[in-house]
Amino acid sequence: MSRKYFGTDGVRGRVGEHPITPQFVMHLGYAAGKVLASAADTRGERPGVLIGKDTRISGYMLESALEAGLIAAGIDVYLAGPVPTPAVAYLTRALRLQAGVVISASHNPFEDNGIKFFSSHGTKLPDETERAIEAALDEPMQTNASEGLGKAKRIDDAVGRYIEFCKSTFPAELDLRGMKIVVDSAHGATYHIARHVFHELGADVIAIGAQPDGKNINDGYGATAPDNLRKAVVEHKADLGIALDGDGDRLVMVDSAGMLYDGDQLLYVIAKHRQAQGKLQGGVVGTLMTNLAFEHAMQRLGIPFKRAKVGDRYVMELLQQQGWQLGGENSGHIICLDKHSTGDGIVSALQVLHALRANQQSLAVAAGDLHMYPQVLINVRVARGVDCLGHDQVKAAVSDAERVLDGKGRVLLRPSGTEPLLRVMVEGEDPQLVEQSAQRIAEVVRMLATS
C-alpha cells in the first residue's frame, strides 16, 4: 500500500494548503495518538508524546493543532518549544515517551512546514506505523470522553538537557580551547543552542544566522546558503565555520580559507579517523548521491561501503541491516549511531572536531587527500504525478550522457521526496563533460514538464 501523506521525511507542504492546515494537522495528531496508544505498553498510564518545532511562524499554529489532536486521543503532550529535530529524538528517549513529533520543513523556506515523527527509540517511524496512521486518518475523529483526555506540560529545561547531551559526545580529555569557530544556525532551531555547545567546550564562537523572526529561517544563511559563513570565517580569521540547516539535523563546514566541505568530505574525515583509532565498526553507508570519489577513497582505505536510497531513513535502515554505525549523505546529514539514534548536525560537527583535535590537523589537511569528482545537480520543477523518468526522450538523453562520459562518471535522476522536483545529477572526471551532460538532460526534462 503506497503512502498518501507521508513522504521520505514525514508530511510536508505549503502552509495553508492541504495537508499543512490546522484542521488536517489536528486530525493527524489524533490519528497518530490512537495508533501510538494502541501499540504502547504504558502499564495503565497515559502514553506521552513530545512536540518540538523550529522557528517558523506557522509552528505556533501547527503546535496547537497537534496538541489538540493528541489530547483528544488521550495522549499526554510534552512541549519542548523551539529545539532541533535531533533534540526531539534524544528527549523522547530520555523521558521514556512513546513518540516525538517535530514541526519543521528542514531546509525549505518559511512558507513551508511539515510534521515528522520519532519512535520511543528516537528513530524515524517504520513504514508500517506510518501506514497505520494514514489508515486512521480515513476514520472520523471521535474525541475521548473528558476523563480520557490527555494533558499538556511544558519541558522548561529541554534546551539545557540537549546542550549537555551534545557535549557528552565529545571526548572528555579534549577541548576546543584556542579555536575560533563561526557557527551559522540558519535562523533556525539551533539559534539558542549551537553557540553554547561549542563555547562551553572552550571555543571562541562567533554566531551568525541566530536571530530568527519567524520568517527568515534558511534565508541566506545555513547549510543550504553558506556564502555568509564563508565570508565571516575569512573576515574574523577563524579556524573554521559550521553551518547547520533550519532544523539542525545536517551541516556543512568551511576551512580557514573559506573553502566549503560537504557531507561526503566530513564523513570521510570521521571514517578515516575512526579507522585509525580501531573504532570503526564495519563499514560506511552512503547514498545514490554520494560522490564516486568517496567510494573510491573507501576502497583505498579498505573500508566496506554500500549505497542506500536517498534519504536518512534509508541510510539508517541499511546501517541497521549491516550492523554498522557510520553513514550519511552529501547534503550533510551524517549518522553516528554510537553517539545518537538519528542524524545530528551539532553532534556530527563534534565528531569532525574530535578528529581534528586528536590529530592536531586543520580541516583542509584532514580532508585534503579526498579529491572530489565534479558533480552537477540541477533541480527541475515538474508537476506532481508527472513521470518524466519513464519518457523515451529522457531515457535517450541519459543514454547519450553515459556514452559521452565513457565509464568515467555516472548519471542519476530521481524525484525529490519532499518537493515537486526531479533532481538531475551528473558526476565524472571531466568537469566540462559533466556540466554539458547535466544541462542537456535537464533541458529535455524542462521541455516535457512544460509541454
> What would the grid cell of residue 276 be?
585509525
Report the pLDDT averaged over residues 97-103.
96
Dump pLDDT digits (tens) for 168-185: 999 999 999 999 999 999
Which of 112, 129, 157 finishes a domain? Answer: 157
Q: Find where cell 527568515 sits.
A: 216
Kindly state whether residues 222 and 327 are assigned to the same domain.
no
Q: Are residues 20 and 139 in the same domain?
A: yes
Give dist(CA 11, CA 236) in Å, integer. Answer: 40
183 and 210 assigned to the same domain: yes
Beta bridge partners, 335, equal 327
Active site residues: 106
Q: How confident is the model at residue 418 (pLDDT cuts 50, 70, 90)?
A: low
Within 8 A by CB and 6+ apart from 442, the residues are 378, 380, 424
Q: Which of 193, 10, 30 is nearest to 103 (CA)?
A: 10
Residues 288 and 362 in one domain: yes
Q: What is the predicted pLDDT for the residue at 126?
A: 82
**Which has the closest alpha carbon to 83: 133, 157, 23?**
157
Amino acid at 325: Q
Residue type, 266: L
DSSP, collapsed to helix, strand or coil, labels residue 110 as: coil
Digit-coded pLDDT (tens) for 232-266: 999 999 999 999 999 999 999 999 999 999 999 99
| Angle CA 30–71–110, to nearest 5 | 70
Question: Looking at residue 426, which CATH number applies to its domain?
Answer: 3.30.310.50
The alpha carbon of 377 is separated from its chain's Cα centroid by a whole number of angstroms, namely 18
CA–CA distances in Å: residue 74 to residues 53, 66, 100, 256, 365: 22, 13, 15, 53, 55
Residue 388: CB partners within 8 Å, gap ≥ 6? Answer: 380, 382, 394, 413, 422, 445, 448, 449
State residue 317's pLDDT score: 93
5 part of a folded domain = no
Percent of the chain at pLDDT > 70 equals 98
Percent of the chain with pLDDT over 90: 86
Any domain includes 163? no
| Domain stop point among 235, 258, 281 | 258
Position 215, amino acid: K
Query: What pLDDT score does 65 carry?
Result: 98
Beta bridge partners of 425: 377, 412
pLDDT of residue 44: 75
Give one word for 183, left, alpha or beta, with left for phi > 0 and alpha for psi -120 to 50.
beta
Give the per-residue pLDDT at 450.
75
> Does 294 map to a domain?
yes
Kindly state whether residues 128 and 112 are assigned to the same domain: yes
- The pLDDT of residue 264 is 98
- Do 140 and 31 fall into the same domain? yes
- Indicate whether 356 and 281 sit together in one domain: yes
* Whether residue 27 is found in the same domain as residue 136: yes
For residue 407, how many other CB atoms are within 10 A of its CB?
A: 8
- Asked if residue 186 belongs to a domain, the reply is yes
Reported confidence tier of residue 7, pLDDT bands at 50, 70, 90: confident
Residues 148 and 16 in one domain: yes
Q: What is the pLDDT of residues 316-327, one digit of tens each?
A: 999 999 999 999
Domain residues for the domain of 92 are 11-157
All three cell numbers of 349: 560537527
Tell me which of 396 and 2 has the higher pLDDT. 396
| Residue 2 in domain | no
Mean pLDDT of 40-62: 91
Q: What is the pLDDT of residue 451?
A: 67
Same domain, 186 and 228: yes
243 and 279 share one domain: no
CA dist., res. 157 & res. 161, Å (int):
6
Residue 327's nearest CA partner among 380, 250, 408 is: 250
User: How many domains, in total, are found in the chain?
Assistant: 4
CA dist 206 and 49 (Å) reads 35
For residue 3, being part of any structural domain is answered with no
Q: What's the predicted TM-score (pTM) here?
A: 0.91
131 and 32 in a common domain: yes
Q: Are 40 and 47 in contact (CB under 8 A)?
A: yes
Distance CA 89, CA 103 (A): 13
